[in-house]
Amino acid sequence: FFTSQRRIFMISVYRWITEHSGLCRTLLFLLLGAFTLYAASFQYVSFLSIYLLDLFIWFLVGRFISLAPAKLLREPHSQLQQECDPYPLMEETQRQLARKFDGPHRQVLEMDYAVSLRETGQFHKASEVLENINIDKFPGTTPFLKYVYYHNLSDICYLLDRSEEARIWSRKFRQIYHDLPPTKAKQELAATNDLMEAEIHYYEGNFESALRKVAWIKLPTRRMVLDGALLAAKCHIALEEPEKARQKLQYIIDNGNRLFIVQQAREILEGLN
């Protein structure tokens, strides 16, 4: 009970900070100014000590304010990945995008919004959102974020049968992935990258290679397991193995919750009967 209450309270705090970030920074500036004037009145306190303390507090609290919007996305992301429900992520991204602001965080929100559109079957709208993002607009954009952007753009182009465009974006995300240093961040991308590589094999007509590759990938989330199952089912159909495909499709229907992939699986299964 107390854990639930604390979670609700923290979400309310993050929500208020997100919607009043400018006011929060103004209040922080005024409080630090008042503290500086008060501390400077003591002769035994050096100005350098006050200045360094101000910097530390500004950095610490400022970072908390900056991270508040991302904190609100944690639970919706978890609901998508583990509970296969894309609608909380769609609602949260729409709510945050309704505010007028610009910067890398807005691009992250737009990419997350595009993911929620993809997972609800709105492929054309997801494509429009991604194509309107200028991923090179901000100099501080990380290679990790650029990888995710080009990966998602390639994926949606393949889904829309725009193979030539998809190949262009796939070359970009492959190069970025190759150039990433072997850090924890790259390790976290490994399963996503491997699954996309298997998808590319399928779209390029290499069904056996796609099936072999997807069979050994360790997929960390329920949503990714379902994506892998759909890919395997499509490969089995292409290889004229309908019974194996039926098993995968039924698994998706039983576990896909509110994902569009459930509708896809039902339509494919009906076509096999």
pLDDT digits (tens, 9 = 90+) for 228-258: 999 999 999 999 999 999 999 999 999 999 9
Q: Per residue, what are the HEC states of the chain?
A: CHHHHHHHHHHHHHHHHHHCHHHHHHHHHHHHHHHHHHHHCCCCCCHHHHHHHHHHHHHHHHHHHHHHHHHHHHHHHHHHHHHCCCHHHHHHHHHHHCCCCCCHHHHHHHHHHHHHHHHCCCHHHHHHHHHCCCCCCCCCCCHHHHHHHHHHHHHHHHHCCCHHHHHHHHHHHHHHHHHCCCCHHHHHHHHHHHHHHHHHHHHCCCHHHHHHHHHHCCCCCHHHHHHHHHHHHHHHHHCCCHHHHHHHHHHHHHHCCCCHHHHHHHHHHHHHC
Q: Could you report the per-residue pLDDT of 56-115, keeping only the tens digit for each?
A: 999 999 999 999 999 999 999 999 999 999 999 999 999 999 998 888 899 999 999 999
Q: Smallest Cα–Cα separation from 185: which of 137, 142, 140? A: 142
Identify whether the C-beta of residue 66 lies closer than 8 Å to the C-beta of residue 103. no
**For the whole model, what pTM was predicted?**
0.91
Identify the pLDDT of residue 140. Answer: 85
Identify the pLDDT of residue 2. Answer: 58
Which one-letter amino acid corresponds to residue 169?
Answer: W
User: By percentage, how much of the chain surpasses pLDDT 90?
Assistant: 80
Average per-residue pLDDT in the chain?
A: 93
Confidence class of residue 212 from pLDDT cuts 50, 70 and 90? very high
Q: Could you report the per-residue pLDDT of 216-231, keeping only the tens digit for each?
A: 999 999 999 999 999 9
Q: Could you report the per-residue pLDDT of 117-128, keeping only the tens digit for each?
A: 999 999 999 999
CB atoms within 10 A of CB 8: 10
Confidence class of residue 41 from pLDDT cuts 50, 70 and 90? confident
Q: Could you report the per-residue pLDDT of 194-208, keeping only the tens digit for each?
A: 999 999 999 999 999
CB atoms within 10 A of CB 107: 18
